[in-house]
């Protein structure tokens, strides 16, 4: 009887050892991706996806381009546990003619390239089949080179409309935009033309209130890289804004920026100081509270921004101070902060706050604001502060794995 129990014990221990080895030998991936997560998990199905990074032996972080250049991604693999010390950094860049499906397929292929470095250190490599597509021999080296006839210039036109109606309310919106951008290692050029119009009506048997807001603007910037830490540029703009009592306004501001960290680290960490000085010329729709129909104003501003994207979470903070050169008492101080951190396994905390101290509303129209102005938001109203606070908590527990994709209903 003793020998039988002893044999059963060793058999059970042997089976558990094999299971533990199999589990320890597999790739457990924690995916943090600004992409189509379901597609990635469906196409790369030979790894185990875990919902908490503490259970992972590989952290995969995929970030979009901070310039807003759609289709450009930075890919970071961070080894943990048995893969500690094995880190991989890749990038993927599409071109504007690629469809969303082609972009996500290209991103998937690039991710698989990174996983291969870890896969060779597991027994799963024995089940791996690799195929390499050889280019046709009649294709010359010159033909294989990618030639960008647009020289990195990107153009985008967009328009949208909105209509809503009920028995006592009607809303019409129209929004149009045209963008011209160019991003290279040395230059960042952005120009936007925008038109927005909103007409809102409230009515009953006795009254009819109508609100109309119109914005027309052109604005942009030209930035030149000087070194790994310094950049300089100009900001410019033209606008008409019925809400802000602006009949016509134009502004121009040279700027300089210093980055404490090298610019190449911007996806993971960023800490910059920025200074602008320039002018703003305003023509008003109605006489302002200071008795002005138009005025020419010198301006300057200072800003400090920091952003960290790490395994434990994300932190973003921006402080800015703006004032007019002729009167420092007319200024605006802004704090904008966001925090998303992992406290312990399964528990994360999200905090956000934006605080503005407003003393620069020189464009306010004279006269008492009507009840229609207040309720329909037809014009900017005097205020000396703006506060916004956000708080969120998330606690997730249960199965460590997140492999199943089920999108029914």
- Tell me the Ramachandran region of residue 52: left when phi exceeds 0, alpha when psi lies from -120 to 50, beta otherwise: beta
Q: Tell me the pLDDT band of 368, cut-offs 50, 70 and 90.
A: confident
- pLDDT, greater one: 249 or 126: 249
Q: Tell me the pLDDT band of 13, cut-offs 50, 70 and 90.
A: very low
Per residue in 75-134, pLDDT (tens digit) is 999 998 888 888 998 988 877 677 788 888 888 889 988 988 888 888 776 666 666 665
What pLDDT, on the 0 to 100 scale, is given for residue 298?
96
Q: Is the pTM of this model over 0.85?
A: no
What pLDDT, on the 0 to 100 scale, is given for residue 71?
63
Q: Tell me the pLDDT band of 269, cut-offs 50, 70 and 90.
A: confident
Element (H, E) at 39: helix 37-43
One CATH from 1.20.1630, 3.40.1010, 2.40.160, 1.20.1250 for 153-395: 2.40.160
Shortest CA distance to 99 belongs to which of 123, 132, 70? Answer: 70
- pLDDT, greater one: 172 or 343: 172
Burial class (CB in 10 A: 0-12, 13-18, 19+), 49: buried
Indicate whether 136 pLDDT > 60: no
Q: Tell me the pLDDT band of 257, cut-offs 50, 70 and 90.
A: very high
What pLDDT, on the 0 to 100 scale, is given for residue 160?
96
Question: In sequence order, what DSSP letters do the residues of 213-264 get, joined into one string?
Answer: EEEEEEEEEEEEE-SSSEEEEEEEEEEEETTTTEEEEEEEEEEEEEESS-GG
CATH 3.90.950 is held by the domain 2-126: yes
Give me the residue spans of the domains in the chain: 2-126, 153-395
Shortest CA distance to 245 belongs to which of 198, 192, 284? Answer: 284
Per residue in 40-61, pLDDT (tens digit) is 888 888 888 988 888 889 999 8
End-to-end CA distance of the chain: 56
Measured CA to CA, the distance from residue 249 to residue 281 in angstroms comes to: 6
């Amino acid at each position: 009887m003793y020998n039988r129990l002893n044999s059963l014990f060793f058999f059970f221990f042997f089976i558990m050892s094999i299971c533990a080895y199999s589990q320890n030998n597999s790739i457990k991936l924690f995916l943090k991706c600004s992409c189509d997560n379901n597609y990635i998990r469906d196409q790369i199905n030979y790894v185990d996806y875990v919902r908490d990074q503490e259970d992972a032996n590989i952290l995969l972080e995929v970030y979009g381009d901070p310039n807003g250049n759609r289709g450009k991604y930075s890919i970071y693999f961070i080894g943990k546990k048995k893969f500690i010390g094995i880190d991989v950094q890749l990038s993927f860049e599409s071109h504007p003619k690629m469809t969303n499906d082609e972009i996500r397929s290209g991103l998937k292929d690039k991710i698989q390239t990174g996983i291969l470095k870890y896969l060779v250190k597991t027994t799963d490599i024995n089940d791996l089949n690799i195929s390499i597509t050889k280019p046709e021999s009649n294709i010359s080296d010159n033909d294989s080179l990618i030639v960008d006839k647009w020289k990195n210039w990107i153009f985008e036109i967009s328009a949208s409309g909105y209509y809503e109606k009920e028995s006592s309310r009607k809303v019409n919106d129209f929004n149009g935009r045209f963008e011209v951008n160019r991003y290279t290692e040395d230059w960042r050029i952005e120009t936007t033309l925008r038109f927005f119009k909103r007409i809102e009506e409230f009515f009953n048997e006795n009254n009819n209130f109508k609100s109309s807001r119109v914005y027309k603007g052109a604005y942009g910037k030209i930035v030149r890289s000087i070194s790994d830490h310094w950049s300089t540029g100009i900001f410019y703009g033209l606008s008409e804004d019925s809400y802000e009592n602006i009949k016509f306004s134009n502004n121009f501001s040279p700027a300089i920026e210093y980055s404490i960290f090298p610019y190449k680290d911007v996806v993971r960490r960023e800490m910059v100081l920025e200074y602008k000085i320039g002018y703003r010329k305003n023509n008003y729709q109605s006489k302002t509270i200071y008795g002005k129909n138009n005025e020419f104003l010198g301006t300057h501003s200072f800003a400090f921004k920091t952003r960290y994207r790490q395994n434990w979470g994300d932190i973003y903070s921006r402080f800015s101070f703006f004032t007019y050169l002729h009167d420092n008492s007319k200024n605006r101080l802004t704090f904008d902060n966001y925090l998303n951190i992992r406290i312990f396994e399964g528990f994360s905390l999200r905090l956000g706050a934006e605080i503005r101290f407003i003393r620069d509303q020189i464009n306010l129209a004279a006269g008492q604001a009507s009840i229609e102005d207040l309720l329909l938001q037809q014009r900017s109203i005097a205020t000396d502060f703006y506060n916004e606070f956000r708080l969120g908590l998330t606690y997730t527990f249960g199965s460590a794995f997140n492999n199943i994709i089920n999108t029914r209903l």
